[in-house]
Amino acid sequence: MANENAPIAGAKMDPTTGAWMVEVDVDITTAKGGKDQAGTYKLWIPATVKDAIKVYGEGGVMKRFVRSLVIEKSGPARDKLARGGKTTTTGRKKAKYLSKLGF
């Protein structure tokens, strides 16, 4: 039975924090030791910014936002450095879990 108060379909309320959480699939890969390995794991994440603040606090959300922004903005320079000064027009793929949250 769907909860009509949930901000996103499938979200469930965490009884400890009162935050709405949604389960997403996260794809992971590794190329350690010349062997590529891939997998998927499930993760519960806050459904909205307000829910994230309930879970992590305002300072924790800001810290995660700044960290993510620095990684995003430094990506092209890191990519150029890794490719010996050559630029590429292909960016990173959009994560599936962002689509589930409506981004």
pLDDT in tens, 19-69: 999 999 998 888 766 677 888 999 999 999 999 999 999 999 999 999 999
Residue 55: its pLDDT value, please?
97
Query: Residue 9's closest CA among 66, 47, 52, 37?
Result: 47
| Separation of alpha carbons 13 and 48, rounded Å | 12
At 47, give phi and psi (nearest 5°).
Answer: -80, -30
Inter-residue contact 23 to 42 (CB < 8 Å): yes
Computed over every residue of the chain, the mean pLDDT equals 85
- Tell whether pTM > 0.75: no
The mean pLDDT value for 62-84 works out to 88
The yes-or-no verdict on residue 88 having pLDDT over 70 is no
Residue 50's pLDDT is 96
pLDDT for position 2: 52
With beta carbons less than 8 A apart as the criterion, state whether 40 and 25 touch: yes
